[in-house]
Amino acid sequence: MDLSTRADIEAPIGLVFDELTNFTAFETAALRRGVEVARLDSRDVPGRGMQWRAVFPFRGRKRAMALKLEDFDRPARLRFDLDAASVTGELLVELLELSRSTTRLTLKVRLRPLTLSARILVQSMRLAKGRITGRMHDRLHLWALEVADRHRRGAGRG
């Protein structure tokens, strides 16, 4: 199953990439939403090889997923491999500079079921694809507005 959305952000590509690679902020946000997040690597700076384990409630059960940063191409691309008990996949984040002050962020998620029960789960997600994509789109746009706002406030200093 493939999901995708995009947002245009009123901020330079380098700043957007820096915000995307502020993994501590994403970990904190996940913890606030009830996701248990554990960092599995010991890297000091963001880069290829970073790993996390996340445990989160989904459809009434706790699910565990491992994430590994496989592609780190500053400032254009991040690719994460996803691995759960019965589903694998990837999360791809691509950035495109539209102008000096505008960046297009494209987010793509691909999930592949490994078992029959996972196929049923993914099939039910396909039926709700519009709603899931809409929620993903809304979250991405909210994040994009926050990044643009921080950029405007930062650019106003001086």
Task: Output the tens digit of pLDDT for each of the chain's 158 residues.
Answer: 999 999 999 999 999 999 999 999 999 999 999 999 999 999 989 999 999 999 998 878 899 999 999 999 999 999 999 999 899 999 999 999 999 999 999 999 999 999 998 899 889 888 999 999 999 999 999 999 999 999 999 865 54
Residue 59 domain-assigned (yes or no) = yes
- Could you list the residue range(s) of the whole structural domain that residue 107 is in? 2-153
pLDDT recorded at residue 158: 45
Q: Verify cis geometry, omega within 30 degrees of 0, for the bond prior to 75.
A: yes
Which CATH number fits the domain that encloses residue 84?
3.30.530.20
3-state DSSP assignment of residue 55: strand
Residue 79 domain-assigned (yes or no) = yes
* CB contact set of 88 (below 8 Å; sequence gap of 6+): 81, 82, 111, 112, 114
Residue 35 domain-assigned (yes or no) = yes
Residue 158 domain-assigned (yes or no) = no
**pTM reported for the whole predicted model:** 0.88
Residue 44 domain-assigned (yes or no) = yes
Residue 39 domain-assigned (yes or no) = yes
Residue 80 domain-assigned (yes or no) = yes
pLDDT recorded at residue 44: 87
**Overall domain count for the chain:** 1
